[in-house]
């Protein structure tokens, strides 16, 4: 049984930098892929969903630090005051609806009406995504964007933040970066994607990414997180394979899986 939380609560958009955290990130080993016969929710998505006063929906996906289980992160976020937190588990659920929203190891988030919240075409052959990079040079955002552009479903372009948004018919997504700390919304969180959806959750109308400096990370881990958040912006849920950067939490996998590209091509 799948459902969306529609909590009528105030939306907290502020992502407040609280200064550099003390200490460095623990070097935790990446986990291996889960046993898919066990509904241990290892690959679930940690998501907060809020219904806004005007009917639109704001969804935030939180990416756990390496080795942090989604269920543990969901508990912490709730304890830290984040409203509407739920585990969305597209892996253990084998309903027909979920099967229709998947390709191979890749998944989207089914809603009551659709498998997929898409970006509008606005007259283009494919939706045009511009990722405006406001992160520091440690985050390989440009290389992550370039890789996602290999799908033929939707075009992803890299752009410096200072260059602005080139047109009103394209979609611009700002990639923020700061030492957001290790407490509150950022406890065990290395990155998040916040998306605005129309009331039917059929279209994504806006999004931004925030990358957390406070957990450090190798180049491959940072690349993994940038790749992961971009995949969420485009509309994908997690991939059950560690061969995809859309695996549940931070790994060192830098690239999407071929199934991720195919799933985008099914819906665009
Ligand atoms: Zn995720």
Q: CA 184 from chain center: how many Å?
A: 19
Note whether residue 1 is domain-resident. Answer: no
- Residue 159's CATH number: 3.40.390
d(C-alpha 8, C-alpha 56), whole Å = 11
Three-class SS of residue 239?
Answer: coil
Q: Quote the ligand 1 centre to 143 CA distance (angstroms).
A: 19
Note whether residue 7 is domain-resident. Answer: no
181: containing domain: 45-267
Q: Quote the ligand 1 centre to 246 CA distance (angstroms).
A: 6
Q: Quote the ligand 1 centre to 238 CA distance (angstroms).
A: 6
Note whether residue 78 is domain-resident. Answer: yes
Q: Quote the ligand 1 centre to 74 CA distance (angstroms).
A: 12
Note whether residue 18 is domain-resident. Answer: no
Q: Quote the ligand 1 centre to 225 CA distance (angstroms).
A: 9
Range with the poorest average pLDDT among 101-105, 201-205, 223-227: 101-105
Using alpha carbons, select from 223, 23, 206, 201 the residue that is nearest to residue 137.
223
Q: Quote the ligand 1 centre to 254 CA distance (angstroms).
A: 14
Q: Quote the ligand 1 centre to 171 CA distance (angstroms).
A: 21
Residue 21 DSSP class:
P
Note whether residue 10 is domain-resident. Answer: no
Q: Quote the ligand 1 centre to 43 CA distance (angstroms).
A: 9
Note whether residue 25 is domain-resident. Answer: no
Q: Which residue has the tokens 């065990």?
A: 188
Q: Quote the ligand 1 centre to 233 CA distance (angstroms).
A: 10
pLDDT in tens, 138-194: 999 999 999 999 999 999 999 999 999 999 999 999 999 999 999 999 999 999 999
What's the whole-number mean pLDDT along residues 21-45?
Answer: 41
pLDDT in tens, 52-109: 999 999 999 999 998 898 889 999 999 999 999 988 765 555 566 667 788 999 998 8
pLDDT value of residue 95: 63
Contact 48, 59 (CB under 8 A): yes
Note whether residue 26 is domain-resident. Answer: no
Q: Which residue has the tokens 């005051």?
A: 81
pLDDT in tens, 142-153: 999 999 999 999
114: its two tokens? 């659709």
Q: Quote the ligand 1 centre to 224 CA distance (angstroms).
A: 11
Q: Quote the ligand 1 centre to 268 CA distance (angstroms).
A: 21
Domains in the chain: how many in total? 1
Q: Which residue has the tokens 């890749």?
A: 106
pLDDT value of residue 96: 63
Note whether residue 153 is domain-resident. Answer: yes
pLDDT in tens, 115-136: 889 999 999 999 999 999 999 9
d(C-alpha 196, C-alpha 56), whole Å = 7
d(C-alpha 157, C-alpha 24), whole Å = 33
Whether residue 226 is predicted with pLDDT greater than 70 in this model: the reply is yes
């Amino acid at each position: 049984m799948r459902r969306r939380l529609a909590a009528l609560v105030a939306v907290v958009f502020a992502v407040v930098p609280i200064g550099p955290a003390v200490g460095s990130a623990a070097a935790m080993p990446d986990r291996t892929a889960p046993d898919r016969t066990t509904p241990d929710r290892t690959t679930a998505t940690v998501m907060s969903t809020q219904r806004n006063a005007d009917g639109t929906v704001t969804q935030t996906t939180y990416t756990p630090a390496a080795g942090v289980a989604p269920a543990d992160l969901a508990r912490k976020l709730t304890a830290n005051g984040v409203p509407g937190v739920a585990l969305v588990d597209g892996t253990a659920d084998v309903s027909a609806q979920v099967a229709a929203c998947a390709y191979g190891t890749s998944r989207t988030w089914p809603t009551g009406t659709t498998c997929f919240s898409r970006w509008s075409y606005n007259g283009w052959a494919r939706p045009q995504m511009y990722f405006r990079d406001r992160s520091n040079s440690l985050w390989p955002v440009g290389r992550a964007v370039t890789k996602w552009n290999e799908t033929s479903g939707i075009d992803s372009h890299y752009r410096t933040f200072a260059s602005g948004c080139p047109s009103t018919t394209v979609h611009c997504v700002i990639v923020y970066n700061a030492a957001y700390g290790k407490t509150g919304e950022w406890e065990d969180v290395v990155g998040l994607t916040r998306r605005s959806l129309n009331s039917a959750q059929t279209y994504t109308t806006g999004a931004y990414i925030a990358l957390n400096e406070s957990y450090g990370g190798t180049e491959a881990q940072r690349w993994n997180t940038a790749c992961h958040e971009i995949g969420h912006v485009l509309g994908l849920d997690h991939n059950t394979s560690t061969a995809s950067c859309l695996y549940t939490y931070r790994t060192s996998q830098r690239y999407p899986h071929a199934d991720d590209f195919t799933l985008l091509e099914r819906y665009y």
